[in-house]
Amino acid sequence: MSKGTRYTPEFKQEAVNQVIKHGYSVNDVSERLGISSKTLYA
């Protein structure tokens, strides 16, 4: 059984920056990046 996808620290930081610095919603960012909103919150 797979343990899931691993994301680079840079990918994670950019995803968070899109929400915090640029003001996009978590749902918008997660859809654009192809990840679940739960993953982004984690």
DSSP annotation string for 2-27: -------HHHHHHHHHHHHTT---HH
1-42 per-position pLDDT tens digit: 457 788 899 999 999 999 999 999 999 999 999 999 998 888
Q: What pLDDT does residue 22 have?
A: 93
Predicted confidence at residue 29, as pLDDT, reads: 95
Q: What is the pLDDT of residue 5?
A: 84
Residue 14 tokens, joined? 């950019």
Whole-number pLDDT of residue 2: 56
pTM score over 0.85: no
Say how far apart CA 35 and CA 29 lie, in whole Å.
8
Place of tokens 């990046």: 33
pLDDT for position 40 = 87
What is the reported pLDDT for 3? 72
* Cα–Cα dist 39/32, whole Å: 13
